[in-house]
Amino acid sequence: MKRILLALILSTLFMPLLAQDFEILSVESLPADMSAREEIKTDHNDRQCALLRVATQNIAPNQREGFSFVPDLGSEVVQRATRDGEIWLWVSPGLKYLRIKHRDWGQYELRLQDYVTKVEALHTYKITIRGTLPLAVQVPVMTSPTQQYLVFQLSPADAVLEVDGQLWEVGPDGSAKRYVNFGTYSYRVQAPNYRSETGKVTVDNPNEAHTVSVKLKSDFVEVTFKVDADAEIWVNNEKKGIRTWTGVLGKGTYKVECKQEGFETTMVSREITSEMNGQTITLPAPKLVYGSLNVESTPIGSIFYVMANGAYSLAPQTSFGLTVGSSKSVGWYASLSSNFGFGDARYECDGAGVIAGLSEPYSYTGEKRSSRMGVTAGMVFRLFDPLYAYVGGGYGVRNKYWQLDDGSWARCTDDSYRGVAIDAGLMLHFGGVGVSLGVQTIGVDYVEAKIGIGYTLKRKKP
């Protein structure tokens, strides 16, 4: 009896040495399998799931149910089912790692991206697990873990992480994580405008993740560019400021330009080093653009001219006259105009023909006449040869007369004007001929268009 009991105890102690192990035989995508689309499921973030079909080889059915599956931190196993001798798992899309545990045989960290590019929503994948020991040996064994999570926390978050020569994916928060075998790993972290950092990390504790924090030191240099001019400062074809600019630049060589309208752009090359931090760099100011202009002129002497004038207004009224003048750069003129019609009026009437204070019956013959006279004088200015402008003033009269039946005349006050006359216009002198065009007014009520033509009597050149 004692011998039988001793045998039972020894068999119990040494049965773990005969335990079955397992391995991942394959992971493959099944693009023709529509199972994930026929049974659509979503995770807690409303993402449509992918389907993992876990098939087993050389594993007894009762041992198949001893498997459990733990996803990475950003994913979840939404549902598990047994279909046709397989374990079906609906998982979050983008799943990267899947820890496969067995209640008797330990665990295995499956890195899916070593087999498929990406676990996509509504796609089906097949994982084949094979037992490595004969089915006849169905005894459990406890295995010692040989893997753990290695976590990096990087700053800045857009840094590039390389571990043992392989690039690791870095999340938006600067974190990177993988389930790795025990051992020592070399890493390198680098980012633009930061100093790269290298190091080694040893992974040997299965009870907790190993976290490595790496904060890169800035490789920026703060400098000030200034120029003693109202010029724009451009660095590598990018406008930075006007007259002065202070900012940070990475170490290296830069093209610096100073631009100002009407000036020649200056350009220099400046190497920025860490020793220049906080320095002020004075830039050469843009250079004034010089040119040459050759001006030739023929001096113009003074001119003396006589012109015959004609004037017309919508009154209607036509008059004629004479203008004389002399000019060099500045000169003078005098003008006389008249219609050579004169008259004397016994009465004055308004535009309706009413004569105030006359009680006797009267009527008009319909005969009308007018008189016009104006005298003006002023200054002449040469705009450019041969064009001149003139402006002046004087006195002007324009009377309108209506004849009564008894032969006497009445001046129509509503159609007669007298007072200050203003004269202005342009004159053109060329080849001994003078032409003028202008206006003449009496006050602001009466306006005439005035033209003239004449002869330039004399032109003197010094």
pLDDT digits (tens, 9 = 90+) for 106-146: 888 999 988 888 999 999 999 999 988 766 454 444 456 78
Is 139 a member of any domain? no
Shared-domain flag, residues 54 and 162:
no
Shared-domain flag, residues 38 and 170:
no
Q: How many CB atoms lie within 10 A of CB 421?
A: 25
Tokens 């308004």: give the residue: 350
Report the distance separating Cα 392 and Cα 422, nearest Å.
Answer: 6
The structure tokens listed for 364 are 């008009």
The total number of structural domains in the chain stands at: 4
H/E element, 7: helix 2-14
Shared-domain flag, residues 83 and 188:
no
Q: Please tell me what DSSP assigns to residue 445.
A: T
Q: What radius of gyration do the chain's Cα atoms show?
A: 55
State residue 256's pLDDT score: 93
Shared-domain flag, residues 60 and 192:
no
Question: Based on the number of CB atoms within 10 Å of its own CB, is 19 exposed (0-12), middle (13-18) or buried (19 or more)?
Answer: middle
Domain that holds residue 61: 19-131
What are the percentages of helix, strand and coil residues in the chain, rounded to 5? 5, 55, 35
Q: Dump the DSSP string for 195-258.
A: --EEEEEEE--TTS-EEEEEEPPB-EEEEEEEESSS-EEEETTEEEEESEEEEEEESEEEEEEE
Shared-domain flag, residues 164 and 240:
no
Shared-domain flag, residues 451 and 343:
yes
Choosing from 215, 247, 264, the residue where a domain stops is 215
Shared-domain flag, residues 357 and 430:
yes
Is 268 a member of any domain? yes
Choosing from 69, 102, 131, the residue where a domain stops is 131
Is 293 a member of any domain? no
Please state the φ and ψ torsions of residue 119, each to the nearest 5 degrees. -85, 110
Shared-domain flag, residues 116 and 162:
no
Which residues of the chain are modeled with pLDDT < 70? 1-20, 134-144, 290-301, 458-462
Yes or no: say if 421 and 440 are a contact pair by the CB < 8 Å rule: yes
Shared-domain flag, residues 94 and 52:
yes
Is 184 a member of any domain? yes
Q: How many CB atoms lie within 10 A of CB 329?
A: 10
Choosing from 101, 131, 161, the residue where a domain stops is 131
Report the distance separating Cα 267 and Cα 286, nearest Å.
Answer: 9
Report the distance separating Cα 232 and Cα 257, nearest Å.
Answer: 8
- CB-side neighbour CA atoms (13 Å) of 68: 7
State residue 17's pLDDT score: 37
Is 271 a member of any domain? yes
| pLDDT, tens digit (0-9, with 9 covering 90-100), for 344-370 | 888 899 988 888 888 888 889 989 998
Shared-domain flag, residues 241 and 156:
no
Is 8 a member of any domain? no
Yes or no: say if 250 and 219 are a contact pair by the CB < 8 Å rule: yes
State residue 47's pLDDT score: 95
Shared-domain flag, residues 78 and 95:
yes
We report the CATH number of the domain holding residue 390 as 2.40.160.20
Shared-domain flag, residues 321 and 453:
yes
Is 294 a member of any domain? no
We report the CATH number of the domain holding residue 202 as 2.60.40.1120
Bridge-partner residues for 211, per DSSP?
A: 151
The structure tokens listed for 54 are 């876990």
Identify whether 386 is preceded by a cis peptide bond (ω within 30 of 0). Answer: yes
Is 296 a member of any domain? no
Nearest to 443 by CA among 419, 409, 407: 419
Chain centroid, CA 124 distance in Å:
46
